[in-house]
Amino acid sequence: MRVLVVEDDAELADAIGVGLRREQMAVDVAYDGVTGLEHALFTGYDVIVLDRDLPGRPGDEVCAELLATGCRSRVLMLTAAATIQDRVDGLGRGADDYLPKPFAFAELVARIRALLRRAQPALPPVLASGDVLLDPARRIALRAGEPLDLGPKEFGVLELLLAAEGRVVSAEELLERVWDEMANPLSSAVKVTMSRLRRKLGDPPVIETVAQAGYRMPSDREIAGVPV
């Protein structure tokens, strides 16, 4: 999951970023509306956590601009104002959800995950390919019933491959969806992570390399011989 946090309180923004990364999300942070809008228009984020009171361009304007440009990211608006009219105004400008400050971090995480579910086609609660199972909600991955000890990036790569249901996923897409903006696009991060993941998954191999295209895992329908 790729998340953008736009918040002018640097201490709060950085704390949110650290907390969300611990929840195994890839997080970018911006401290003003202009920079936040540039990030949002350049990168396909799943969810944008957007403060309403921002320098440069207010959160309402940023949200309206994203809506006008057809941005598909879900927007969670943060604000110190908590009146009903404030919430109505924010939702009317394109926000998908509204969270007044101060808030509990656990609620922020829950709302972000709920927005992610709305942003994507419905997926089964447990993803599978043959004897490989992954439960995103409980952050559990198994092969042949045995738990896999996966790091955050390995888990994210496996989740994306399983969710693709047989579609080829490029290295560029993996880098964009699992890593954050600090990742070097010319680095070998994807190859190194893929190598570790394959080693932990064991034999027989389940991740295929498609030359000059990316990686894929066969869907359960494909494994069962059901026409797709």
Residue with tokens 């400008």: 93
Q: What is the pLDDT along the chain (228 residues), one digit of tens a residue?
A: 789 999 999 999 999 999 998 888 889 999 999 999 999 988 888 899 999 889 999 998 998 898 888 888 899 998 876 566 666 665 666 788 888 888 999 999 999 988 887 655 545 578 889 999 998 877 899 999 999 999 888 998 999 899 888 899 998 888 888 887 666 665 688 899 999 999 999 999 999 999 888 999 988 777 776 555
Domains of the chain with bracketed CATH? 2-119 (3.40.50.2300), 127-223 (1.10.10.10)
Which region, left, alpha or beta, applies to residue 140 given φ > 0 means left and ψ of -120 to 50 means alpha? beta
In the chain the beta strands, taken as DSSP E runs, fall at 2-6, 26-30, 47-51, 74-79, 97-100, 127-129, 132-135, 140-143, 146-147, 208-210, 214-216
CA distance 114 to 140: 19
- Residue 225, number of CB atoms within 10 A of its CB: 6
CA distance 55 to 36: 11
Instruction: Quote the CA–CA distance of 215 and 120 in Å, as a whole number.
Output: 21
Q: What are the tokens at 173?
A: 């897409």
Strands 74-79 and 47-51: parallel
- In 20-123 the beta strands, taken as DSSP E runs, fall at 26-30, 47-51, 74-79, 97-100
Rounded distance, CA 97 to CA 90, Å? 9
| HSE toward the beta carbon, residue 172, CA cutoff 13 A | 4
Amino acid at residue number 20? L
| Nearest residue to 190 via CA among 213, 210, 171 | 171
